[in-house]
Every structure is written in C-alpha cells, then in structure tokens.
Structure 1
C-alpha cells in the first residue's frame, strides 16, 4: 500500500510515555493512508517487545546500542516512503483530531513550504482552552518533535548532523533549507500537547550534560553557517550571557557546562570545517529578518488556565 503520511516516533526508555502517546494517537490507526514507524534507540525497558506484541500494525526497529537522537531521526527518515513524514516525540500527542487533512491542504497551498511546525503546549496537564488568535506565518526554524516534513525537501539537504549528538538539528536543517529556497511555516490550527514540566529540567541530574550539548550546538552553528566576521562577536556574547545570567548568580554547574562545551568546540573543529555552508552577509540578514521559531504556546486566557490547573 502507498501511504500518504508516516508518523515517525523516536524513543528511548520512555515506554510509559510512549503508551500514552499511542493511545492518544489511536484515532490515526483507522486511516489507511497513515503508517506508523518507531525507532527504539537501545531501550532497556522492554519497549521493542511491548510494541511488537501489542501493536502489530506498527513498524518498529531498534538500535541495539543507543546511537543518539540525531542518528535515530535520520534512520527513521531514511525509511519513510510517503510524501510526508509527521515527526512526533514519544511524550507528545495531537489534540487536533484531523491533522492529516490540514497538513495536506496547507502543503498544497504552499508549494515552497518544506516543514510545518505545530502549535505546542508544554505542561504535564492539558491546556484549559485550545482556541488561539495565532495565524500561520513563515519562521526561521521549528521543533523537531512536533512538525511535518515534505519529503522532497528532506531529500534535498544533508541529514541531521549526528556528531552534534543532541540539540541543534532544527537550526542545522533550517539554514540548509533557507539556502535551497525552501520555507518553514507555523500552522497554529494543529495543536499538540508536550507532556513535560519544562521548569523542573534544571533540577534533573543531566542538567550539566544538557547545558553542555545545547551550548556547543549553538556554537557549532555559528562556525558552520555565519559570515566569518560575525562569529567572534556572537561567541563572546553567548559566553558572557551564560556567565552573567547563571555563573555570577552562583550556578557553578553552568560554569562546568561552558568549559566542556568550549572543549567540544575545539575538538570538533575539523568536522566544522568539512561541513561548513556559510551564508553571505545579505543571506544572513534576510534569514534574521524571519520570525523566530514558535515553540511554546499558552492559552490566551491565562486566568482561566490557572483556575483549571487546580481542578
């Protein structure tokens, strides 16, 4: 059967989250033009066995040893045979109940659109209201875990950079898409729920590791894509803001992360030189005129939201 949409889900040791996501997406199981594809990145919690046993219609494959999110996303996309690949992380689900028809209609009306980014609500609890005044628009980048690719656009640019390991893949792709005259759009009519408590992440034991990978990904992107004369200023400013906003306020873990990220930058310089695709100054200026990626959404009626959260 020729599918029109493929739901691609990367996962690692989050079986309980994945169960919720699949339950919430079950309405899409009935659509004959939708294929589900999951990559288990070396889980040790029985994810592969559970999916194989309980969801025989889902295609699942596994990395015997964890390879990282960028490798996993690349492997998923390499297996997509449909015109569109809907990327949903294992802790995200659709609230909108007719996403595929909205996706197809929007792509048909916007032939230069490579990626549609969805409206994303971040919270353990569902939103108190789903209406929005947001309208579609073109933006710089997107959220990889709540978006959809036009596969012809994906196939026109390099894969996600696996040597980044974590973070940065969206902006890496967005620069390449921009240079190839593709566009990224925000489509607020499609609402997703990201079931996480973003404020609690700083308390997690992987805070230093996440900060290190986030910083170095941003710095890698400077050296890969920015005009040369822009790089020193951007790098110094980035480090200064980390010191000012975190280290000087007593966050010693942030200081460790900065130094580790600087080491990674030096260590990865040969890869940066090999993979650089620098924008001209005029291209850089045009790119930066685009609105930033719309990653976080909150219901407009915040008073109503705070009331509902206590019910």
Structure 2
C-alpha cells in the first residue's frame, strides 16, 4: 500500500496567512505524493479559507465562523482523520527532514506500543544550522504541540483534549491518559521541525500575560486532575516558588499579573478539576516521573575549531 495514503497532516490556523503559505509551500513535495491535508481555519478574517479553496482544492478545509480556540480546533481535526496515522503541525512550522513519511510509518510499525512520536524541534526565525544528529530515539513523558505524529488507534482510546484549558496543557493531558492506557510517547529526533518563532520576543508581545496565565494554570490543573493527593500541594507550592524566585522577585510585573490570575483560575475551577480527576496509580506515577522530560527545545552542539582558538590565544 502507498504509505502516503496512511498519513494525514493536520494544521489549525487563525489570521496567519503569510505563515501558513510558507508552511504549505514547504509541504508541496509531500502533498504532490498524495498526502491528505486537513486544515481548520479558526475564524480567520484575512482570506485564509478563500486562499485554500483556490490553491489547495483537494485539501479538506473546515472553517469555524467564530474562533473556537486552538484546542477545540485540534479536537475537530483529530476526529476527522480516516488514516492510520496523523501528523499535527503548527501553521508556523515546517518539516526539514527528507522522506519523513516513510520514517514515521516505519517507526510506528517497529514500535507497536508507541502512540505518539515527538519530533525534534528547533525554535527560531532563521533556519537552524546544519548539525549531525547525536541523539537516539527514546521513550519520554510527553510531546510538543507544534510537531508530532499520532497513531490514531491510541487517540481513540483516550479522551479528547480538554477544550476548557483554552491553550497549553493539552499534550500533557493526553500523555497522562496514554500512560494509563498502556501507550508510550517516543522522542524520534530523525524527524526535524523548524518552528519559526522567536521565543525571546514573546515577552514584549501583547499576549505575554495571557500566555503566562494559561501556561502556569494548566500545570496546576493537571496536578489536581492526575497526581496522587499527597504530592499535589508540594508540587504546586514548588512551581509557584520558582515563578516568584525567577520572575516576581526580579520585577517582572507582567508575569506577576499572570501568576495571580493563574492562582484565581485554579481556585475557581477547583470543583471542575476534582470532578474530572483521574488519578494515576502509585506505579503509574512512579513510571511517569522516572521517564525523561519531553524534548521541547533542540539546540545544535557547537564544535569549536581548536586551530582558531590557538591562533587567537594569548601571545608572548
């Protein structure tokens, strides 16, 4: 069977037509081979749907008349997949690996307990420098939303992403449920993603407070929903202390606002969190936290040229 018929690629987008064009252009070699493309336009007002209908008539485009949010859109896309596997990609990310489809399909076939493949991701506006892969595949706790692949059999055995989280935390939510359903998440560095984002500039963007709020509260939500009772408070207190130590004490007023809002959100939503609680067993908790952390940021190792160092060293 043609392996390109086994995989769908999923993208959700909102008012970022320029970035989407770059991503789709990078996918042309795969799309020309018959890869199924499903896109959710989450209420864009920049002509995204019109562009897709004209330039990508074979793509399945779903449009939310009003924005429903990232997690809602991802659930919508995932539940429309009819292929064996699905790649989830952000609209500002592109795959750098040649022949990624065969690599993904073969990896899933060789690792039958792997429910999600987490990709190696480089964050930055410019393309990453060329570097040899020094890492090997391994089982990890979780994955990053901007670039990963699902075995759809695993997806249908766990609950949908929690739409009420709004943004952040959905991947870790899925990771807990995958563990409880006896599925694994594997980091597969051979699939390389360029996420065209400047993390340093985010602090100056309008949504910095909102991102801080949602990122922090999602972590606390997950603690309450999944961790054994005796470790919930210590973990929340420790994470709050780290935020105070690294941000509040240093005068980051925007972060301080986001932290206070996250505390309020957690208190207000506590009844809902307890209602949706599905605690890990002691063994599951131990297994999860003995795994390596998810690989979020990849950075190339810089090889120093000793001849340059020597020639530029101290002179007698």
1 CA distance for matches of 2:46 and 2:303? 38
SS in 2 for 1:61: strand
Comparing 275-284 with 47-56, greater Cα deviation is found at: 275-284
8 A contact 1:132–1:300 mirrored in 2: no
Residue in structure 1 matched with residue 9 of structure 2 by the alignment? 7
2 CA distance for matches of 1:161 and 1:294? 22
Residue in structure 2 matched with residue 182 of structure 1 by the alignment? 183
Q: TM-score, normalised by structure 1?
A: 0.95
Residue in structure 1 matched with residue 155 of structure 2 by the alignment? 154
* Consecutive aligned runs of 4 or more in structure 1 exceeding 2 Å deviation: 301-304
Deviation at 1:302, TM superposition (A): 6.0
2 CA distance for matches of 1:302 and 1:21? 30
1:70-125: per-residue Cα shift (whole Å, max 9, x none)?
10000000110000010011001111120110011101100000000111111111
1:239-269: per-residue Cα shift (whole Å, max 9, x none)?
1111111011111111111111111112212
8 A contact 2:131–2:301 mirrored in 1: no
2 CA distance for matches of 1:108 and 1:3? 15
Deviation at 1:53, TM superposition (A): 1.2
1:115-163: per-residue Cα shift (whole Å, max 9, x none)?
0011111111111114211100000000122000000000000000001
**Which aligned pairs between 1:90-109 and structure 2 lie closer than 5 A?**
90-109=91-110
SS in 1 for 2:24: helix
**Which aligned pairs between 1:136-175 and structure 2 lie closer than 5 A?**
136-175=137-176
2 CA distance for matches of 1:204 and 1:158? 33
**Quick check: which has more Rg, 1 or 2?**
2
1 CA distance for matches of 2:68 and 2:50? 19
Residue in structure 2 matched with residue 235 of structure 1 by the alignment? 236
Deviation at 1:296, TM superposition (A): 1.1
SS in 2 for 1:60: strand
2 CA distance for matches of 1:285 and 1:29? 42
Residue in structure 2 matched with residue 85 of structure 1 by the alignment? 86
SS in 2 for 1:17: helix
2 CA distance for matches of 1:245 and 1:7? 38
1 CA distance for matches of 2:93 and 2:201? 17
Comparing 292-301 with 209-218, greater Cα deviation is found at: 292-301
Residue in structure 2 matched with residue 134 of structure 1 by the alignment? 135
8 A contact 1:88–1:146 mirrored in 2: yes
Residue 39 (str. 1) matches residue 40 (str. 2): yes
Residue in structure 2 matched with residue 308 of structure 1 by the alignment? none
8 A contact 1:212–1:261 mirrored in 2: yes
1:50-80: per-residue Cα shift (whole Å, max 9, x none)?
1111111111111111111110000000110
1:16-36: per-residue Cα shift (whole Å, max 9, x none)?
00000001111011223x200
Deviation at 1:199, TM superposition (A): 1.1
Residue in structure 2 matched with residue 117 of structure 1 by the alignment? 118
Q: TM-score, normalised by structure 2?
A: 0.93
- Could you list the runs of 5+ residues in structure 1 that have no partner in the other structure? 305-311
Comparing 158-167 with 291-300, greater Cα deviation is found at: 291-300
Would you say how many aligned residue pairs link Structure 1 and Structure 2?
A: 303
